[in-house]
Amino acid sequence: MARVRVRFIGTLRWAAKMDETDMEVPEQTSVRDLLNKVFGMVDVEEGTSSAGQPQEFGRNMLILVNEVEVGLLNGFETILRDGDKVTLIPTAHGG
């Protein structure tokens, strides 16, 4: 098992009712797998402007692994390791 810290920013912090959480995930867990797990914790309709599948959920936010956007890594297939920090930042915000 690996321990991953997940940080919620902006409206996701409000929807998740927490700033961050440590999650135990199996070895070889991908960002997609983590989103599926987090998807069950977050009220997507209230937390972002998107509802639906976790993949859609993930496309409406910036996802950072250790401060690097996953698009510069292996996208949703990026494998998470023990001690990684995942930051979820919604792209929808007020003005």
Residue 95, domain member (yes or no)? no
Contacts of residue 44, Cβ cutoff 8 Å, sequence gap at least 6:
15, 50, 51, 52, 57
Supply the CATH number for residue 83's domain: 3.10.20.30
Residue ranges making up the domain that contains 67? 2-90
What's the number of domains the chain is made of? 1
pLDDT in tens, 35-86: 888 877 554 444 443 444 454 556 678 999 999 999 999 999 999 999 999 9
Distance of CA 24 to the CA centre of its chain: 14
Whole-model pTM above 0.85? no
